[in-house]
Amino acid sequence: MDKVWLTAAGLYVIVLLRAGGTFAVGWLTGAGARRSRFAEKFSAERFQRVERAIQRWGAPVVALSFLTVGFQTAANFLAGSMRMPVRRYLPALFVGGAAWALVYATAGIGILEGLGRLFAEHTALGVAGVVAIVLAVAGVVVYRRRRTARTPQDTAND
């Protein structure tokens, strides 16, 4: 159990730095855009309403985004670029980041331990599984390369 907490702590530090950095980049990007030739778009009433909504209600979205795949970076960047107050952002970052770290630490360690047991107890089965995965990936790569290498004339004749 100690390794789960140690892994979770390491992942927590990583997610705080990554997501916090994404928020900061979004904040700086938004600040730069507000000084650019697009500045008049940021003063439009519709944009102002969206920005106020994100500033007020965006924290739960940021916190829940950590339980998704692919949305968390966009949510953190958007929170920064829409100037979500840091006092609202940080609690969402801490809670969401903790959930993310615990999920990945427990699932990741569980998967690695399962693979370790598989190789220790049934080495041939483990090796066969790895070979099957490698062959499947290689087959997909070869298929896609051949398909994209075909000329338009080749596809017209099919």
Tens digit of each residue's pLDDT, the chain (158 residues): 677 788 889 999 999 999 999 999 999 998 888 888 877 777 778 778 878 888 888 888 889 889 888 788 888 998 998 889 999 999 999 999 999 999 888 887 787 788 788 888 888 888 888 898 899 999 999 998 888 887 666 556 65
Distance CA 25, CA 15 (A): 15
The per-residue pLDDT for 105 is: 86
Q: Kindly report the number of other CB atoms within 10 A of residue 83's CB atom.
A: 16
Domain extent listing, the chain:
44-85, 105-149
Q: What is the pLDDT of residue 156?
A: 60
Dist. CA 110–CA 121, nearest whole Å? 16
Kindly calculate the radius of gyration of the chain based on its CA atoms and give it in whole angstroms: 23
